[in-house]
Amino acid sequence: MNKIEHIGIAVKNLDDSNALFARLFGVPHYKIEAVESEGVRTSFFKSGPNKIELLEATNPDSAIAKYLEKKGEGIHHIAFAVDNIETEMKRLESEDFVVLPGFPKQGADNKKVAFLHPKGTNGVLVELCQDLEKEGSAQ
């Protein structure tokens, strides 16, 4: 893993949260994107070298909707940049981490993504992110 790529925050209302985080960071979001396959609408902010992703459920059966219902708004996941997601998934599985079924797949912000089950990471949902243009490059 190369670096923290972003921190994901589950929110109930993306428009209200965009206004709040714009005031917090002193800059507006730079992108809003729907990820239909995950039933979410996302918004991205940059704060210095860091990225924050806000996630709003668009489908009541989505993982974000279930998270909000169970835990409320707050930090949902920490994403790490990787050079080759398939290689990293295999490495982590060999170390007894559980990659959630159905991954990798295309995510927001031009990334291929996969998630590790939080039961194996002290309750933290870990996302692996690979830039789509780096697909197939060696790690």
pLDDT in tens, 28-38: 999 999 999 99
CB atoms closer than 10 angstroms to residue 55: 26
Per-residue pLDDT, 139? 38
Per-residue pLDDT, 134? 60
Per-residue pLDDT, 136? 52
> 63-96 pLDDT, tens per residue?
999 999 999 999 999 999 999 999 999 999 999 9
Quick one: average pLDDT of 125-134? 91
26 conformational bin, left if phi > 0, alpha if psi -120 to 50, beta if neither: left
Confidence of residue 133 (pLDDT cuts 50, 70, 90): confident
> 98-122 pLDDT, tens per residue?
999 999 999 999 999 999 999 999 9
* Distance, CA of 92 to CA of 126 (rounded, Å): 12
Full-model pTM: 0.91
> 31-71 pLDDT, tens per residue?
999 999 999 999 999 998 999 999 999 999 999 999 999 99
Buried/exposed code over 82-116 (b: 16+ C-beta within 10 A; e: otherwise):
bebbbebbeebeeeeeebeeebbeebbbebbbbbb
* Distance, CA of 94 to CA of 17 (rounded, Å): 39
Does the pLDDT value for residue 138 go beyond 50? Answer: no
